[in-house]
Amino acid sequence: MDTSQLTAIDVHTHVLASVTEKKRDGSGADSLAGVFGKIPELTVPELAAYYRDRNMAAIVFTVDSITRTGTGPRVTNEEIAEQAAEFPDTLIPFASVDPGRGAAGVRAARRLIDEYGVRGFKFHPSDQGFYPNDPVAYPLYEVIAEAGLPALFHSGQTGVGAGQRGGGGIRLKYSNPLHLDDVAVDFPDMPIIIAHPSVPWQDEAIAVAGHKPQVYIDLSGWSPKYFPPQLVAQANSLLKTKVLFGSDFPALTPERWLKDFETLDIKDEVRPLILRENAIRLFGLGGVPGAEG
């Protein structure tokens, strides 16, 4: 990946379509329609073309919430990893393993790392129905930490189930980022990314990221014009090397996010840190002085 040619690195992109299966009811797009309206469902090759056309790279993943839903992800981790490997200039594959899978999930995570080369893991506590600091998830974190990979956690409110009867069974309490403080203490060498402005727990996210050196915040899922003022202030100062660009595509396009980001009160010297340089350092992509890889 030639990072010198990239305008941005989107660290939060969902794969909602498989190249081998037809769309099925209850897909990710269906569950988000009440908040975001009709959204495109792209395969991995389509995502690669989309981001390549924009001189961007993207982290791509699915969400495995089989414990709560009874159904595995429509697009498998294996498909995402195999296809992303064909576009190494553009895509970085993450995996998602539901902690409720227990020992089988731990074995799957190790196989995804060793055989498929995934570069990190995505968790959605509200969708998967677990507290991030529940010991049930710790064997999974041990595998991730041993491999030196990052773990990305959804935080705050979610579009999944919004407006549905009973919120579609989604419980917001699981996604308070303060639960990640325990994880950061117990796995001090595992990079942790708190995804999204953590409404209504923004101050908790800032506190954890400011206190724990391996904790980052991605800015996906919300237009920058809605960012809380304390988040903007911290991104401009104490957290300027720990904040990452993410769109939450396809729920929010990078074009929409970047357009609104242009009007945000962010210092000129901080903008490239957020858009690409912090991610380059975190993921060891090279191309920035002091970066690994």
Mean pLDDT over residues 129-155, rounded? Answer: 98
Using alpha carbons, list the distances in angstroms from residue 256 to 200, 247, 273. 23, 9, 19
Per DSSP (E only), the strands in the chain are 8-14, 56-61, 91-93, 121-123, 151-154, 192-195, 215-218, 243-244
- Supply the pLDDT for residue 24: 46
Q: Choose among 10, 8, 6: nearest CA to 247.
A: 10
Q: Is pLDDT at 35 greater than 50 in this prediction? A: no
**Number of neighbouring beta carbons within 10 Å of residue 78:** 16
* Choice among 63-67, 88-92, 120-124, 284-288 with the minimum mean pLDDT: 284-288
Distance, in Å, from the CA atom of 138 to the CA atom of 133, rounded to the nearest integer, reads 8
Angle at 111 between CA 92 and CA 82, to 5 degrees: 40
Share of the chain above pLDDT 70, in %: 91
Q: Is pLDDT at 38 greater than 80 in this prediction? A: no
3-state secondary structure at position 83:
helix
Spatial contact of 225 and 182, defined as CB atoms under 8 Å apart: no
Mean pLDDT over residues 152-181, rounded? Answer: 95
Mean pLDDT over residues 133-141, rounded? Answer: 98
- Maximum Cα–Cα distance for the chain, whole Å? 51
Spatial contact of 152 and 94, defined as CB atoms under 8 Å apart: yes
Using alpha carbons, list the distances in angstroms from residue 102 to 3, 22, 237. 37, 29, 40
Q: Is pLDDT at 61 greater than 60 in this prediction? A: yes
Distance, in Å, from the CA atom of 259 to the CA atom of 31, rounded to the nearest integer, reads 26
Q: Which amino acid is at 191?
A: P
Distance, in Å, from the CA atom of 89 to the CA atom of 9, rounded to the nearest integer, reads 11
Interval 90-133: pLDDT, tens: 999 999 999 999 999 999 999 999 999 999 999 999 999 999 99
pTM, two decimal places: 0.92
- Give the CA radius of gyration of the chain: 17
- Supply the pLDDT for residue 32: 47
In the chain the domains, ranked by start, together with CATH numbers, are 3-282 (3.20.20.140)
Q: Is pLDDT at 77 greater than 70 in this prediction? A: yes
- Mean pLDDT, all residues of the chain: 93
Mean pLDDT over residues 249-270, rounded? Answer: 97
